[in-house]
Amino acid sequence: MNIHEYQAKEILRAYGAPVTRGLAAFSSQEAETAAQTLGGIAFVVKAQIHAGGRGKGTFKELPAGAKGGVRVVRTPADVKASAAEMLGHTLVTLQTGPSGKQVGRLYVEEGASIDKEFYLSMLVDRASSRVAFVVSTEGGMDIEEVAHSSPEKIVTFSVDPATGIQPLHGRKVAQALGLSGDLGKQAVTLTASLFEAFTQTDMSLLEINPLVVTKDGRLVCLDAKVSFDSNALFRHPDVAQLRDESEEDAKEIEASRYDLSYIALDGTIGCMVNGAGLAMATMDIIKLYGMEPANFLDVGGGATKEKVTAAFKIITADPNVEGILVNIFGGIMRCDVIAEGVIAAVRQVGLTVPLVVRLAGTNVEEGKKIIRESGLNVIPADDLDDAAQKIVAAVKKEAA
């Protein structure tokens, strides 16, 4: 689960990491009031969306040349004006994709006078089963580009869970960033605070880009991107309530209500499959026959009729879907239950695209009979290969 920058900074602050003072705002009036409350001579108005690259982003509705999603301004009145331009508008960045994201909230924070911009991130390194740090002097820019063009400028190390965070880790960070003296000490303290925040709240990613040195000699986290391990959210109800559903795919939210493993993709063939392995094989074989899956969907081993109906509705709600492939191996799951679910869903939502159903395993004959006798226009298939060829052919025929 991802959260907004202002929420991430709130958590970092609670763990003692240095962040700039700021306030969230949901209207331009609130933004102006936030600036008045903060006081000072420079403010930064930052669009809160779950994507980076906001500074260099552009707003769809604003004329070319208008400022991006991170703006440095001088007065509360300017904050208000900038806020009015951003709120409700669509910000397109390198990370949002061409459709962009609508800005519904802002963060107004005090302007920092920046001397240097660094990069620091933490993540769970699966290979070493440890929390790893990634540090670079090349901050404020695209880290993938740095990794590509000058990999020697990126320092990584991981923390042994048996010892936990040690001053030596902080010194590694300081060394990588060329910090000594008081700034070196700040780096050691910061490293420990970030590690605490990361492990105590079960983060899976924490990215500070940029981590800056201010002109008055302070190390400050100027941006913060945080993702949490969703499997650990039950331990953190306070974190779980930071979820902003408006940032998520509506189909994925609906799927999570029914405990379905669903991921929206860009293709045109909707897939309903049981078991993650079979779901991936189904996606592969669709590609093999020249089309792209519209989603990954694992309805799980013990799906009920209601679950299957919900899954089918989610697939058909996707306007990109031009054909549906149901591929079920009945092990724990019975084929007749799947068949009933599919039929119930088709009766409820209608069927405007070709549907191929391949059933195998427990109660397969009952399942096939239910589909045959439903009178619905369902194309039966016998195996995976046959099913994939049939759905691709059916979609091509519709398009012709």
Which residues fall in the annotated binding site? 46, 53-55, 109, 112, 117, 209, 223, 274, 331-333
* Residue count, binding to Mg ion (CB under 5 A): 2
Closest Cα to residue 146, out of 172, 124, 176?
176
Q: Does 93 bind Mg ion (CB under 5 A)?
A: no
Q: Does 20 bind ligand ADP (CB under 6 A)?
A: yes
CA–CA separation, 267 and 283 (whole Å)? 10
Which residues are known binding-site members for ATP?
46, 53-55, 109, 112, 117
Cβ distance to Mg ion smaller for residue 223 or 340: 223
3-state secondary structure of 122: strand
Buried b (16+ CB within 10 A) or exposed e, 25-58: beebebbbbbbeebeeeebbbbbbbbbbbbbebb
CB 26 within 8 A of CB 102: no
Residue from 15, 23, 55, 256 touching ligand ADP (CB under 6 A): that is 55
Using CB atoms within 10 Å of the CB of residue 71, give its burial: 0 to 12 exposed, 13 to 18 middle, 19+ buried: buried
Q: Does 18 bind ligand ADP (CB under 6 A)?
A: no
Which x/- pattern over 161-200 shows residues binding Mg ion (rule: CB under 5 A)? ----------------------------------------
Q: Does 222 bind ligand ADP (CB under 6 A)?
A: yes
* Residue count, binding to ligand ADP (CB under 6 A): 19
Q: Does 205 bind ligand ADP (CB under 6 A)?
A: no
Q: Which stretch binds Mg ion (CB under 5 A): 93-101, 177-185, 222-230, 325-333?
A: 222-230
Residue from 223, 298, 322, 340 touching ligand ADP (CB under 6 A): that is 223
168-to-163, 173, 175, 194, 321 alpha-carbon distances in Å: 11, 9, 10, 15, 54
**Which of the choices ligand ADP, Mg ion, none does residue 13 contact, using the CB cut-off of 5 to 8 A by kind?**
none
Q: Which stretch binds Mg ion (CB under 5 A): 84-92, 129-137, 220-228, 365-373?
A: 220-228
Query: Among residue numbers 76 through 105, which ones bind ligand ADP (CB under 6 A)?
Result: none
Q: Which stretch binds ligand ADP (CB under 6 A): 109-117, 247-255, 311-319, 322-330?
A: 109-117
Mark whether 119 is an active-site residue: yes
Mapping DSSP onto H, E and C, the string for 315-376 reads HHHCCCCCEEEEEEEECCCCHHHHHHHHHHHHHHHCCCCCEEEEEEECCHHHHHHHHHHCCC
Cβ distance to ligand ADP smaller for residue 112 or 297: 112
Q: Kindly give, in sequence order, each residue whose CB lies less than 8 Å from that of residue 64, ignoring residues fewer than 6 positions away.
A: 58
| Residue with the two structure tokens 């039929």 | 343
CB 44 within 8 A of CB 70: yes
Q: Kindly give, in sequence order, each residue whose CB lies less than 8 Å from that of residue 284, ignoring residues fewer than 6 positions away.
A: none
Residue from 12, 70, 272, 388 touching ligand ADP (CB under 6 A): that is 70
| Selected catalytic residue, list 6, 107, 119, 262 | 119
Cβ distance to Mg ion smaller for residue 209 or 316: 209
Neighbour count for residue 91 (Cβ, 10 Å): 24
CA–CA separation, 386 and 358 (whole Å)? 9
Residue from 82, 201, 204, 209 touching Mg ion (CB under 5 A): that is 209
Task: Tell how strand 203-214 and strand 225-228 pair up.
Answer: antiparallel
Mark whether 207 is an active-site residue: yes
Cβ distance to ligand ADP smaller for residue 208 or 273: 208
Q: Does 223 bind Mg ion (CB under 5 A)?
A: yes
| Selected catalytic residue, list 5, 207, 322, 340 | 207
Q: Which residues bind Mg ion (CB under 5 A)?
A: 209, 223
Active-site residues, by number, are 119, 207
